Amino acid sequence: MKTIAIVTGASSGIGKEFVKLFLKEREIDEIWAIARDQKKLQNLRKKAGHKVITYSLDLSCASSIAEFENVLKEKTPNIKYLVNSAGYAKFCTYKDLSIQETVNMIDLNCSAVVSMSLASIPYMGKGSHIINLASQAAFQPLPYQNVYSSTKAFVRNYSRALNVELKGTGICVTAVCPGWVRTALYDRAMIGAKKATNKFVGMVLPDKVAAKALHDAKRNKDISVYGIHTKILHLAAKILPQRMAMKIWLKQQNL
Ligand SMILES: NC(=O)c1ccc[n+]([C@@H]2O[C@H](COP(=O)([O-])OP(=O)(O)OC[C@H]3O[C@@H](n4cnc5c(N)ncnc54)[C@H](OP(=O)(O)O)[C@@H]3O)[C@@H](O)[C@H]2O)c1
């Protein structure tokens, strides 16, 4: 039975950094890298080598999840890590998002995280980890990112609650809550936005976020926050009333 790490959103940004980290883990026989763009996945395999097995799947579609479940049934791996990093953001007013795009964001950022977790748990055991990418956007409601921040609040709450339910199985769930991270996410997030988030204070690099997240997961922490800036925001969100936190956010973003 092969011991594997599964990474969604593996072709770019934070997910790609997780693939690099897992390449260094001796006990991992294979890394299953999932994203849509086949070319990017092929390039990843070329660079990373034969340990990386690629799956081109659109995780916002239920049929892709069913396809993934069939692969698991056929190969019956021992899943040591599942990293749910596939996700996307749109920073704009509610008016600039179609219903279809809004629902698609929820499908990928929330439903796919849940489906991938539920599909993987039967193949996990003591010492296995689910690492879900939430965000600092999960700390409070964010006007002009209303859907994105809500999806990330979902991921954070879901991960922490599931972690409690899994106590006794030896499977740990970690919600990763990074601040602004320098990745391709912004290429898509900013398209077509007339009024949008535009100040990205304290931006950090994806390799640092992934390394801290893996370190925290190995220590069975249910939440991972990298960087002093995000840690301060995390603390502030625990103290301030949400209405006040939103006012500060709007002022800081000049919105
Ligand atoms: N960057 C930030 O500032 C930041 C901050 C906090 C949290 N996060 C979260 O961290 C995670 C990773 O973001 P990132 O910054 O690394 O973004 P990224 O560089 O844009 O990477 C996103 C990855 O998700 C894949 N993906 C997108 N749509 C998909 C779909 N429908 N099905 C399967 N895969 C899909 C993309 O590949 P394809 O396009 O080829 O499918 C890509 O590999 C996201 O959940 C994001 O919300 C990011």
Ligand 1 pocket, CB under 6 A: 8-15, 35-37, 40, 57-60, 85-89, 108, 133, 135, 178, 180-181, 183-185, 206
In the predicted model, what is the mean pLDDT of residues 182-198? Answer: 88
Going from the Cα of 159 to the center of ligand 1, the distance in angstroms, rounded, reads 18
Which residue's alpha carbon is at the smallest distance from atom 23 of ligand 1? 9
Q: Which residues of 32-62 are buried (b: 16+ CB within 10 A; e: fewer)?
A: bbbbeeeebbeebbeebeebbbbbbbbbbee
Provide the percentage of residues in the chain whose pLDDT is more than 70: 100
Domain ranges of the chain: 3-252
- Amino acid occupying residue 228: I
Cross-sheet strand order for the sheet of 30-35: 52-56, 30-35, 3-8, 78-84, 129-133, 172-176, 223-224
Residue 198 has pLDDT above 90, yes or no: no
Residue 190 has pLDDT above 90, yes or no: no
Of 64, 150, 181, the one to substitute when testing ligand 1's pocket (max ligand atoms within 8 A of C-beta) is 181
Per-residue pLDDT reduced to its tens digit, 7-31:
999 999 999 999 999 999 999 999 9
Residue 193 has pLDDT above 90, yes or no: no
What is the pLDDT at residue 131? 99
Please state which CATH number belongs to domain 3-252.
3.40.50.720
What is the pLDDT at residue 192? 75
Task: Name the residue with higher pLDDT: 192 or 7.
Answer: 7
